[in-house]
Structure 1
Amino acid sequence: MKRLFLMLLLAACQEQAAQVTDPVALTPDAVGYYCQMNLLEHPGPKAQAHLEGLPGAPLFFSQVRDLVAYLRAPEQSHRVLAVWVNDMAAPGATWETPGATNWIDARTALYVVGAEIEGGMGAPEFVPFSDIAAARAFAARHGGQVMSLQAIPDALVTLAAPDTAEDADWQRRLQDLSRQTGG
């Protein structure tokens, strides 16, 4: 009997506990994954991704568009377990202060894409909402279309702001790199 109890105890200890993927509140310690800048110093909605094997330490993103780029990048090192975005339909959420705890599941959120408003890093933004009426009202004021995460075209995820010197330089460097690598 003692041996059976020890075997059951050992088996229970070997079971892995489910990783907590609840959204983490924004604090002054939260920095963007790509830019390593304090998120609270930038306007617009933010995002976070929880990765398998990295409990309690989500990757934060200065812009929702950056999260979408991360999710679609082929070079993931860890499986993405959960993704959260600021709900811009939440009470008190503004462009300057999108909120520290008003997170919604990025995979079920609605997005205004193509609005005439820049995200925290100065690039076009995908603006997340939990409420279709709020998303449509935002699109009516700022332009753009309401769509799901899956419907956002890949071409809009990686392009820099159109008609800028940075975009032209980026395109030139990408073409040079393609020629060098035979791509």
Structure 2
Amino acid sequence: MKALSFLLIVLALGACKKDVAQDTAPVPLTAGAVGHYCQMDLLEHAGPKAQAHLGGLPGAPLFFSQVRDVVAYMRMPEQSHEIVAVWVNDMGAPHATWQEPGQANWIAAQDAVYVVGARVLGGMGAPELVPFADPSAAARFATANGGQVMRLDQIPDSAVLAPVELTAETDDTTFQDRLRVLSRELGE
């Protein structure tokens, strides 16, 4: 009888709980924003950024150093939480530059148009998907930098999930050389 009473109380309390809508508004980039995969300060890297809001984790979006990375994240089936909103930098916004894409010029990922296959590299040195709110701005960017203008659902998996070919600038030897220099600097 006590177990039944306890169960009824728990059910009654659960029924009283009001569902509060999760705030999925974009969060401005700050010095504390770090990339989900690399855990590096986003403001130190060039190119457009992204953020994903996950169900049940209000106010704490996952930030991404590259738009390519958030699209890959969205397409991977093994996520622990539902993705409820994704925002990307509008590279056509006033004052948005490749070095400083903006801290608050977010557009919903599903509303953006993307330049895919342009001759530009994102913040982590991989080919980038360049988002725009204005399709004509995207077309001008594609004319100047190569690539094709596409909607999110048109971007092929190969543009976000395929391995990135290392260039001479990012090969293992160059990386090892940079580590040796850094080790010497830290040892002094």
Bin the TM-score by the shorter chain.
0.7 to 0.9
Kindly indicate whether residue 71 of structure 2 is the aligned counterpart of residue 71 of structure 1.
no
The CA distance in 1 between the partners of 2:133 and 2:77, in whole Å, is 28
Determine which structure has the larger strand proportion and give its number: 1
The CA distance in 1 between the partners of 2:109 and 2:29, in whole Å, is 16
The CA distance in 2 between the partners of 1:160 and 1:60, in whole Å, is 21
Contact 1:115 1:145 in 2 (8 A): yes
State the one-letter code of the partner of 2:124. Answer: M
Alignment partner, residue 153 of structure 1 = 156
Runs of 4+ residues deviating >6 angstroms? none
Correspondent of 2:144 among 124, 141, 148? 141
Shift of 1:13: 4.7
Contact 1:123 1:160 in 2 (8 A): no
Correspondent of 2:122 among 110, 119, 122? 119
Alignment partner, residue 94 of structure 2 = 91
**TM, length-normalised to structure 2:** 0.80
Alignment partner, residue 52 of structure 2 = 49
Kindly indicate whether residue 24 of structure 2 is the aligned counterpart of residue 21 of structure 1.
yes
Shift of 1:160: 3.1
The CA distance in 2 between the partners of 1:34 and 1:12, in whole Å, is 39
Shift of 1:79: 0.4
Change in Cα spacing, 1:159 to 1:19, as seen in structure 2 (3 Å) is same
The CA distance in 2 between the partners of 1:163 and 1:62, in whole Å, is 18
Deviations 1:47-74 (A, max 9, x none): 0000000000000000000000000011
Secondary structure, counterpart of 1:141 in structure 2: helix
State the one-letter code of the partner of 2:39. Answer: Q
Kindly indicate whether residue 65 of structure 2 is the aligned counterpart of residue 62 of structure 1.
yes
Unaligned runs of 5+ in 2: 1-12, 172-188
Correspondent of 1:36 among 26, 30, 39? 39
Shift of 1:155: 1.2
The CA distance in 2 between the partners of 1:163 and 1:59, in whole Å, is 26
Secondary structure, counterpart of 1:33 in structure 2: coil
The CA distance in 2 between the partners of 1:101 and 1:139, in whole Å, is 24
Unaligned runs of 5+ in 1: 1-9, 168-183
**TM, length-normalised to structure 1:** 0.82
